[in-house]
Amino acid sequence: IKKCNAKAKPVITATQMLGSMVKNSVPTRAEVSDVANAVLDGTDAVMLSEETAIGDYPAETVRMMNKIIGEIEKSFPFGRLLPNKEEFAIADRVALSIGDGINQIVKDLDVKALIAFTESGGTGRIISAFRPAQPILTVSPYVEVLRQLSLSWGVVPIKAIALKTVDQMIHQAKDIALKSKIAKKGEKIIISAGIPFGRSGSTNLILVQAV
């Protein structure tokens, strides 16, 4: 997990996370601890397998996993699990600096949401790597990109039409923030994207906007 975090790569923790719930309606204390520690260590996702595939309590297992995650996230060290810039090629460090910049801004301002516009998913992933407390609403016209992003920590994938101008992007970001009820009129959001539009791997923009 630590190595993936350092490289800003999504990481899934799996295999018998709640294995005893194949036959029992409650997990063991050790299993609860394992799930909690995976979250605190910085995993992007925890996965169930036989617990839901062949287990006697599939719905209860999912609810239990969700409950454990929800409780442990209350004490999560938001914004403190940082990628290691030495693990990145020089060409990728602009995007990394954007992620770091956003991480610093949310510590100084009362920001309600982060809205990332992305072609390849890179913008959403790099912001996710800094583990901010705010939800990361990641917007793309490509369903396959959004499906991949659904694994990344804190990301809420949103499908929308491709954009042509910065003004369109700002308008759409504010509209998304209001419709999702994550931000109200007058509250701040951060918008991130790559300019020019339509070119993947070019995350280079941060905007702080009042909705």
Distance CA 142, CA 52 (A): 30
Per-residue confidence (pLDDT) for residue 91, from 0 to 100? 63
- pLDDT (tens digit per residue) in 171-202: 999 999 999 999 999 999 999 998 888 777 67
Q: Which two tokens stand for residue 146?
A: 């959004």
- Domains in the chain and their CATH numbers? 2-75 (no CATH), 85-210 (3.40.1380.20)
- pLDDT (tens digit per residue) in 3-40: 999 988 999 999 889 999 999 999 999 999 999 999 99
Per-residue confidence (pLDDT) for residue 81, from 0 to 100? 79
Residue 75 contacts by C-beta under 8 Å, 6 or more apart in sequence? 40
Per-residue confidence (pLDDT) for residue 46, from 0 to 100? 96
- The CB density around residue 115, as the number of other CB atoms within 10 Å, is 32
Considering only residues 82 and 114, tell me which one the structure prediction assigns the higher pLDDT.
114
The length of the chain in residues reads 211
The three-state DSSP-derived secondary structure of 139-176 is EECCHHHHHHHCCCCCEEEEECCCCCCHHHHHHHHHHH
Q: Which two tokens stand for residue 130?
A: 């800094």
Phi, psi angles (nearest 5°) of residue 117 = -95, 130
Per-residue confidence (pLDDT) for residue 200, from 0 to 100? 72
- Looking at every residue in the chain, the average pLDDT score rounds to 92
Is residue 118's pLDDT more than 70? yes
Considering only residues 108 and 84, tell me which one the structure prediction assigns the higher pLDDT.
108
Per-residue confidence (pLDDT) for residue 90, from 0 to 100? 67
| DSSP class of 74 | G
Burial of 30 (0-12, 13-18, 19+ CB in 10 A): exposed
Query: Taking the model in full, what pTM does it have?
Result: 0.86
Per-residue confidence (pLDDT) for residue 80, from 0 to 100? 83
Split at pLDDT 50, 70, 90, the class of 84 is confident
